[in-house]
Amino acid sequence: MATSQQDKLTVRRLCALKKRGERIVALTAYDALLGRLADECGVHLILVGDSLGMTVLGYKSTIPVTLDQSLHHTAAVCRGVSRALVVGDMPFMTYQVSPEQALRNAARYLQEAGADAVKLEGGAGMAPTVRRLVQAGIPVLGHIGIMPQSVLVEGGYRIHGREPEEARALEEDALAVEAAGAFALVLEGLPTDLSARITQALTIPTIGIGAGPGCSGQIQVVHDILGLFEDFVPRHAKRYADLADDIRRAIGDYSDEVRSGAFPDKAHSFE
Ligand code: KIV
Model confidence band, residue 232 (pLDDT cutoffs 50, 70, 90): confident
Cβ atoms of 207 and 199 within 8 Å: the answer is no
Residues β-bridged to residue 218: 25, 208
The pLDDT of residue 1 is: 47
116 Cβ below 6 A of ligand 1: no
Per-residue pLDDT of 192-230, as tens digits, reads 999 999 999 999 999 999 999 999 999 999 999 999 998
Q: How many CB atoms lie within 10 A of CB 196?
A: 19
Cα 268 from chain centroid? 40
What's the count of helices (H) and strands (E) in the chain, helices before strands? 11, 8
Cα 54 from chain centroid? 13
Q: Give the CA dihedral 201, 179, 161, 119, nearest 10 degrees.
A: 120
Half-sphere exposure of 141 (CA within 13 A, CB side): 30
Model confidence band, residue 136 (pLDDT cutoffs 50, 70, 90): very high
Which of 186 and 154 is assigned the larger pLDDT? 186
Cβ atoms of 208 and 215 within 8 Å: the answer is yes
Question: What CATH number is given for 11-225 in this structure?
Answer: 3.20.20.60
Sorted by sequence, the CB contacts under 8 Å of residue 66 that are 6+ apart come out as 91
Cα–Cα distance measured from residue 81 to residue 21, given in angstroms and rounded to the nearest whole number: 25
Per-residue pLDDT of 148-178, as tens digits, reads 999 899 888 899 999 999 999 999 999 999 9
Per-residue CA distances from 207 to 52, 136, 176 (Å): 19, 24, 17
Lowest mean per-residue pLDDT among 3-7, 46-50, 78-82, 222-226: 3-7
Site to probe by mutation for ligand 1, drawn from 86, 209, 218 as the one with most ligand atoms within 8 Å of Cβ, is: 209
The pLDDT of residue 231 is: 86
The pLDDT of residue 155 is: 85
Cα–Cα distance measured from residue 90 to residue 106, given in angstroms and rounded to the nearest whole number: 7
What is the number of residues in the chain? Answer: 271
Per-residue CA distances from 87 to 73, 75, 157, 184, 261 (Å): 11, 11, 24, 11, 47
**111 Cα: distance to centroid of ligand 1 (angstroms):** 22
Percent of the chain at pLDDT > 90 equals 94
Q: Is the pLDDT of residue 143 over 50?
A: yes
Cα 43 from chain centroid? 12
Residue 188 annotated as catalytic: yes
Residues β-bridged to residue 143: 122, 186
51 Cβ below 6 A of ligand 1: yes
Q: Is the pLDDT of residue 83 over 60?
A: yes
Q: Is the pLDDT of residue 6 over 80?
A: no
Give the DSSP letter of residue 120.
-
Domain ranges (residues) in the chain = 11-225
Q: How many CB atoms lie within 10 A of CB 137?
A: 8
The pLDDT of residue 243 is: 98
